[in-house]
Structure 1
Amino acid sequence: MISNELETLVEQRVTYTLQLNGQVYMIENVPARVNPETGEQFFSPSAVEQLQQIILSGQEPDHFVEVPVYHYVA
């Protein structure tokens, strides 16, 4: 029996975060389909293309966020 995961996905706006070349990028209000049980996010091909354009364009961000960074010690 094959489960249809698409039935369990919910349309939401999410914050997409990417670390690239030592920089952290956050893009807010991105349309995604989210699995409410796992939190896994799925993006349409057009959304992915637009995310890439935003990050690679070098345009000025809307605002900046200060983020604390910790090192994991085992």
Structure 2
Amino acid sequence: MYLLLSQGAIAFILALPLKMMGYVGFVFYQHYFHQREYFYYRNAGISMRRLYLYSCIPDFCLYSLLACLSIFIHNMYA
């Protein structure tokens, strides 16, 4: 967040591909170790794809919200 506060929108644009690569790494890691899946969610009827979406979408929304707020603060005091 320090980079977003100090550099503004440029840091957000540069950090976005890193965030996406993190999601790809997360899905790859979960797929690679699929034999150790959480059977609790399978038994409850929740698919792994839905579980990934339920964890990645709020994370991205929170990241976007914090990034927009920090860009707004940066532009307000610049």
TM-score, length-normalised on structure 1? 0.27
Highest Rg: 1 or 2? 2
- Which structure's residues are more often strand, by fraction? 1
TM-score, length-normalised on structure 2? 0.26
